[in-house]
Structure 1
């Protein structure tokens, strides 16, 4: 009996519709968003809104109480030709240089010593970190006594070795050295802890290999430690640039009783008037909030410029 060939039937359609998943939207995870929302709300209220408002104020003339008067870019045009502002920039950069480079050197040396210490490591770390958590005002008052002309410890040491006294807080270079010394003492321990954390990430096998190749301690430091510490060094340099160029409390407290002028004058001859001190002087002494906002944006650009320069210099040395 002849069999009838089966008709070609199309295969049963396979259901290719994906299984619907419940939507993972805001309604499902609202409690997670609510948990992290305080940070963003505070950042919006005390970060972005003030920044935007300061930019708006910099385009107006305003004494802080009356109505605002549109000024456009005239505030910034005046800022570019303001000799007092550029003098404060020069003071700030010089103080930053006098403080930052010795501080980085001392912090690195301190970190190497702490890394090689066997006993009482935690005690040393606490002792070196203590200046950073101490009140800046208290530190400045103590350093004001240390650098006092008649009864200061520094002048007592100079007289002990047969040298003349120096009016540290009444001469331009003395003021800058005193402020830079204060900042160096304040931040050395903090950066030493950061360097120490970087040193502890370097494998010990590299040091053993260097010793087997006959490298001494100095060669090991420059050939092994320093190249591997370059990212940490870059971080410390950028952070020190940002904080150092915004110095305010140190010169303000240290020099507030050395001149019969404004609290933000920066001492005799304005030798210690930093950029932030000049900003406060224009804003709160002269009640010129519009120009003060323009000065603040000028400070921002200077800090960004020097941070980029330092970052590029360290990166270029790393590539070489």
Structure 2
């Protein structure tokens, strides 16, 4: 009986036949296919390109240009002529002819940062804790907290300069109610820095309070109920439930406030603007920002001003590094 077999798929030499490659589309279909590939690959880059173009023009280029200027002696009135001086601008700041002003500005920046940041964050935490409870007119109070933040630096500083005016100022009038003599707020180191820290604290306390309030509302209510069942008072709940839950948020506000204090310029500059002494007659509240402005526009030393700017940039990088290390420690401990 003859047997039938299926036809072989191999060629005469035992080679397996392969199907021919698909033909490439031609005409309008080929153009649409190519356009689709370009759209898929290029659209993401086109969407993010405006940010990088703006950053390169207004962020990266000024950063690199000031870095280049910091190694040159450049006059404000003759920018085209730059003389290479290496690290002389930095050595002038650290150990040279303007070292006294630099270290004084660095110290003032630190003390103003402490005087404004610590009370600001403590008051913001307390206000957020009060607003976290059911109070009447909570919406109005939350809106009122943002009013100082929405006020311009110039308007707030000029008003507080009148409040701390040595002649007829409300601060001296209030001290007079208790028998204290008038204080020349701008003349003393600590009195002037206290006045400036009041301005900074007034502007930023409400902003930080709303950040804390948003974080507090994310804390589960079950934790407070369990603490209340254990007999914990509201103060104990705040210390042992609220504060541990807000550690990442507190760290964020501390870092942001420290960065803002490092760049402090508007408040101390305008506080002494009425008397014509930006930074004080004896540089008693001159910050790094004012020193940079003074070296660049008053002394016309753009290279030295750029060196101050890069030192401030290095301080901000150091603050960011400390932030990263502390955040990693917090995550590891949880």
Q: Which has the higher Rg, Structure 1 or Structure 2?
A: 2
Matched, 1:283 2:290: no
2:57 counterpart of 1:40: no
What is the alpha-carbon distance in structure 2 between the residues aligned to residue 173 and residue 308 of structure 1?
Answer: 30
The separation in 2 between residues aligned to 1:219 and 1:90, in whole angstroms, is 37
Q: Secondary structure at the match of 1:186?
A: helix
Which residue does the alignment assign to 1:157?
Answer: 174
1:217 equivalenced with 2:237 (yes/no): no
1:26 offset after TM fit, Å?
4.5
Question: How many angstroms does 1:75 deviate by?
Answer: 1.5
For the 8 Å contact 2:113–2:258, the answer to whether it is kept is yes
**Structure-2-length-normalised TM-score:** 0.85
Q: CA deviation at 1:173?
A: 0.9
Query: Which residue of the other structure, out of 95, 102, 112, is the alignment partner of 2:129?
Result: 112
Residue of structure 2 in register with 1:123 after alignment: 140
Q: State the match for 1:70 in structure 2.
A: 84
| Paired residues for 1:136-215 under 5 Å | 136-215=153-232
Q: What are the ranges of 5 or more consecutive residues in structure 1 without an aligned counterpart?
A: none
1:271 maps to which residue? 284
TM-fit CA distance, 1:36: 3.8
Aligned counterparts of 1:293 and 1:26: Cα–Cα separation in 2: 43
> How far did residue 312 of structure 1 move?
4.9
Question: Relative to 1, partners in 2 of residues 1:2 and 1:312: Cα closer, same or farther, differing over 3 Å?
Answer: closer
CA RMSD across the alignment: 2.9
Taking the TM superposition and a 5 Å limit, the aligned residue runs for 1:74-93 are 74-81=88-95, 82-93=99-110
Does the CA contact (< 8 Å) of 1:248 and 1:274 recur in 2? yes
2: distance between equivalents of 1:93 and 1:223?
Answer: 31
- 8 Å CA contact 2:74–2:82 kept in 1: the answer is yes
The correspondence for 1:301, drawn from 305, 314, 323, is: 314
Deviation at 1:221, TM superposition (A): 1.0
In 1: Cα distance, 2:323 partner to 2:172 partner: 35
Residues 256 and 267 in structure 1, CA contact (< 8 A), matched pair in contact too:
no
Residues 253 and 313 of structure 1, relative CA distance in 2, 3 Å threshold: same
1:58 counterpart residue number: 70
The answer as to whether partners of 2:9 and 2:17 remain within 8 angstroms in 1 is no
Q: By how many angstroms is 1:39 displaced?
A: 2.3
8 A Cα contact 2:76 2:297, kept in partner: no
**Structure 1 residue matching 2:282: 3-state secondary structure:** helix
Matched, 1:246 2:260: no
Q: Secondary structure at the match of 1:69?
A: strand
Equivalent pairs, count: 316
- Change beyond 3 A, Cα 1:30–1:166: same
Change in 2 beyond 3 A, CA 1:207/1:64: same
Contact persistence 1:169–1:258 (CA under 8 A) = no
Give 1:305 deviation, angstroms: 2.7
Aligned-pair distance for 1:43?
1.1
Give the distance between the partners of 2:182 and 2:326, measured in 1 at CA. 39
Unmatched 5+ residue regions in structure 2? 11-15, 25-32
The answer (yes or no) to whether the contact 1:179–1:250 under 8 Å persists in 2 is yes
Does the CA contact (< 8 Å) of 1:114 and 1:196 recur in 2? yes
Report what 1:96 is aligned to.
113
Give TM-score scaled by structure 1 length: 0.88
